[in-house]
């Protein structure tokens, strides 16, 4: 029912928008095919009706659609006067065309739907705050930062498509890959441009990187998954048809085959989805999300992340160096940074995936993964003084479904520094969790993004900020923020990093201070109502950034020295500072990136109704930590019946899927037999 209404509206029936908005307020039966679609997706479709941008006119129901290979030699022929990959304008009706029938006079005007009104007010409010940002008085440091950010812009065929990683004139002859546009590095630049009301460069970036997704990518004759996004790309000029006087521009992507260590960038696709949602929310251009190529790109990324494997956990299994920490630092396995970005990307994708018969299974997979992932991280990654004391008393080698020490963690793994470092009030999410291994290091990006995306509970989010405040001299000190704490030293550094000369103790990824993390810290503080902490950190950074020429990172335990191999005029340092200042002055704009808690996700785990030990699940403990919740884990009869109904509907749906597959296989076998019989008769 919901899918049919949405499909009808997308075919051009704006006067029936109320039907969709009405459906977005209804709770559908779990046995319905459309019931698996989250209400957030329906509400998002309602918002898209309010979009003022030109729709592409393409249908979003092409599940079998495969994006065409992007030909760089033909792309350069795009006219520089028009933005690349734009949708064609809607043709005006001729003068003699029959006008649409007018509404009959005398009929009462339809009542305004509160959902539509709220969506319209949200968009108008964000645009008003953008105008406030544009008109605000800027400091000398901000004016310098905007000038430097403008110089870092990269153009392709006359159109801005991103910013270089660094623009350091002192290393002009040793740029390595700092002259390329990195997806993760461009995100703070994109946020700064969006907050300033300059969305064209972000849209061009999203579309061009999407085209690069379909390129062939191989390393030693092996190709990774189709949905992999590049780590970076560079605009190159090559001779046109062998003519040394005529040149054309092409995009040269790097999917990891040229990177140090040859590691695929797992976080690139996750950042792309997060940025796509932010662009739509602040510009109102929801038509971009509806395009077939964009919908296909989202699904390819999600299919890559949600594919079946051997892992027993809902977390993503990745290798070392697959995220911001792109060198060997002992984060292989299930690092928190990837899990936080993964959760955020799933939340964003759930709002943007077009709701139709072909997307029901994908939306269902997203919901189940979100529910399992949130419980797993909240239950097993969280440590505070109480939890550490429990681990200290763990029994090992437990073999049962009721084991307390599920991952067989040895108490001797608790590092000596931790007991004296963690405060009485506060805690954090550990860096990694695997069988018989807990990485107790504090990783800033993963913890901050867990707050922003609501992966952490309200109590946990407050505890993380309390810990940062209590350990200010360790995590902030002279320059925010430590990428991780503490650093690997002595024999541990030699074994884990392989004696990496760039990741020496308290340098670069090994305990270095990265100013670009400031904008994410600001977002987390705004979400939790702790703007005072963000203001304090920005004031610390402002004392040195401009004077030190905007370095990439700082060294030493307290961040006193500019990094020994740090590039100057690092773009995401500049953009991170600008974004922090604008967000702090207009905190309402933080909503384009923040995800609020969705309590329905905590109800989506069907295994809690099964009383057998094999399927026991304590997700209710996570629910009980929410405001208004109770530490009593008993479930009411009504809630139990609701969960049981959802479980039965899920089992029925899975059974129908299996039956359908079996019928298809049987039909194929019959077709093969007929062909064989026909071939035998001919012979």
Q: Is the separation of the CB atoms in 598 and 40 below 8 Å?
A: yes
Both tokens assigned to 6:
């949405």
Q: Is the separation of the CB atoms in 354 and 290 below 8 Å?
A: yes
Q: Is the separation of the CB atoms in 57 and 43 below 8 Å?
A: no
CA-nearest of 340, 51, 334, 324 to 188 is 324
pLDDT of residue 458: 96
What's the sign of the alpha-carbon dihedral 294, 298, 299, 303? Answer: positive
pLDDT of residue 113: 64
Q: Is the separation of the CB atoms in 514 and 553 below 8 Å?
A: yes
Structural domains present in the chain: 112-602 (1.50.10.10)
Distance CA 136, CA 118 (A): 27
Q: Is the separation of the CB atoms in 583 and 519 below 8 Å?
A: yes
The pTM of this model reads: 0.77
Cα 59 to chain centroid, rounded:
25
pLDDT of residue 191: 98
CA-nearest of 488, 390, 470 to 428 is 470
- Helix, strand, coil % in the chain, rounded to nearest 5: 50, 10, 40
3 state SS of 7 = helix
What's the sign of the alpha-carbon dihedral 78, 80, 84, 86? Answer: negative
pLDDT of residue 173: 72
Torsion region of 57: left, alpha or beta (phi above 0 gives left; psi -120 to 50 gives alpha): left
Both tokens assigned to 649:
């509907």
Q: Which H or E element spans position 239?
A: strand 232-240
Which of the residues in the chain have pLDDT under 70? 1-116, 603-651, 653-654, 657-658, 661, 679-680, 683
Distance CA 177, CA 179 (A): 5
Indicate the angle between helix axes 2-10 and 39-49, nearest 10 degrees: 20
Cis peptide before 481 (omega within 30 of 0): yes
Largest CA distance in the chain: 89
pLDDT of residue 564: 94
pLDDT of residue 607: 55
Distance CA 411, CA 491 (A): 21
Q: How many CB atoms lie within 10 A of CB 287?
A: 18
Distance CA 366, CA 377 (A): 16
The predicted-structure confidence for 606-664, as pLDDT tens digits, reads as follows 454 444 444 445 455 444 444 444 333 333 455 455 555 655 666 676 677 667 767 77
Distance CA 658, CA 671 (A): 20
pLDDT of residue 522: 98
Beta bridge partner(s), residue 434: 437
Distance CA 660, CA 218 (A): 36
* Distance (Å) of CA 88 to CA 9, 70, 72, 280, 417: 20, 19, 21, 19, 61
pLDDT of residue 600: 78
Cis peptide before 486 (omega within 30 of 0): yes
pLDDT of residue 631: 32
The residues near 147 (Cβ < 8 Å, ≥ 6 apart) are none
Indicate the angle between helix axes 571-585 and 518-527, nearest 10 degrees: 20
């Amino acid at each position: 029912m919901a899918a049919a209404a949405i499909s009808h509206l997308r075919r051009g029936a704006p006067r029936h928008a109320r039907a969709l908005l009405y459906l977005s307020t209804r709770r559908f039966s779990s046995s319905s095919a459309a019931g698996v679609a989250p209400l957030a997706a329906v509400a998002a479709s309602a918002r898209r009706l309010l979009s003022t941008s030109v729709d592409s006119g393409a249908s979003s129901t092409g599940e079998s659609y495969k994006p065409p290979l992007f030909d760089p030699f033909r792309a350069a022929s795009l006219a520089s006067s028009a933005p690349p990959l734009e949708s064609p304008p809607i043709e005006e009706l001729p003068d003699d065309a029959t006008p649409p029938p007018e509404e009959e006079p005398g009929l009462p005007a339809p009542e305004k739907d509160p959902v539509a009104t709220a969506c319209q007010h949200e968009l108008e409010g964000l645009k008003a705050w953008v105008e406030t940002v544009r008109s605000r008085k800027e400091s000398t440091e901000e004016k310098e930062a905007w000038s430097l950010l403008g110089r870092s812009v990269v153009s392709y065929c006359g159109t801005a498509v991103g910013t270089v990683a660094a623009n350091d004139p002192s290393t002009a002859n040793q740029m390595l890959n700092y002259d390329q546009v990195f997806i993760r590095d461009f995100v703070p630049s994109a946020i700064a441009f969006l907050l300033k009301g300059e969305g064209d460069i972000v849209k061009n970036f999203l579309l061009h990187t999407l085209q690069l997704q379909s390129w062939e990518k191989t390393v030693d004759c092996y190709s990774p998954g189709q949905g992999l996004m590049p780590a970076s790309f560079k605009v190159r000029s090559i001779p046109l048809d062998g003519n040394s006087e005529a040149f054309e521009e092409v995009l040269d992507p790097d999917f990891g085959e040229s990177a140090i260590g040859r590691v695929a960038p797992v976080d690139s696709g996750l950042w792309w989805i997060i940025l796509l949602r932010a662009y739509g929310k602040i510009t109102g251009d929801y038509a971009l999300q509806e395009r077939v190529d964009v919908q296909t790109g989202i699904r390819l990324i999600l299919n890559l992340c949600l594919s079946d494997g051997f892992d027993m956990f809902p977390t993503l299994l990745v290798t070392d160096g697959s995220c911001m920490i792109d060198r060997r630092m002992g984060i292989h396995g299930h690092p928190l940074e990837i899990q936080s970005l993964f959760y955020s990307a799933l939340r964003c994708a759930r709002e943007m995936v077009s709701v139709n018969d072909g997307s029901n299974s994908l939306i269902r997979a997203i919901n189940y993964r979100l529910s399992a992932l949130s419980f797993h991280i909240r239950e097993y990654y969280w440590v505070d003084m109480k939890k550490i004391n429990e681990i200290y008393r763990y029994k090992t080698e437990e073999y049962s479904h009721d084991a307390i020490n599920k991952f067989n963690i040895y108490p001797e793994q608790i590092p000596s520094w931790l007991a004296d470092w963690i405060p009485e009030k506060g805690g954090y999410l550990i860096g990694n969790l695997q069988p018989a291994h807990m990485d107790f290091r504090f990783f800033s990006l993963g913890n901050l993004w867990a707050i922003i995306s609501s992966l952490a509970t309200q109590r946990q989010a407050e505890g993380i900020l309390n810990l940062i405040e209590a350990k200010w001299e360790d995590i902030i000190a002279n320059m925010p923020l430590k990428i991780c704490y503490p650093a690997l030293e002595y024999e541990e550094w030699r074994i884990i990093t392989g004696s990496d000369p760039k990741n020496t103790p308290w340098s670069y990824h090994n305990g270095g201070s990265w100013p670009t993390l400031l904008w994410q810290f600001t977002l987390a503080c705004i979400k939790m109502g702790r703007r005072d902490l963000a203001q304090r950190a920005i004031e610390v950074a402002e004392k040195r950034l401009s004077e030190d020429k905007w370095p990439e990172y700082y060294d030493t335990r307290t961040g006193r020295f500019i990094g020994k191999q740090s590039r100057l005029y690092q773009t995401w340092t500049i953009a991170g500072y600008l974004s922090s200042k604008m967000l702090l002055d207009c905190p309402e704009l933080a909503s384009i990136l923040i995800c609020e808690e969705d309590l329905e996700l905590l109800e989506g785990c069907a295994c809690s109704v099964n009383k057998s030990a094999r399927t026991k699940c304590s997700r209710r403990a996570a629910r009980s930590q929410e405001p208004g919740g109770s530490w009593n884990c008993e479930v009411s009869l009504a809630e139990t019946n609701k969960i049981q109904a959802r479980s039965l509907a899920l089992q029925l749906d899975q059974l129908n899927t299996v039956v359908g597959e079996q019928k298809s296989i049987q039909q194929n076998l019959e077709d093969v037999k007929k062909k064989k019989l026909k071939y035998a008769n001919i012979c």
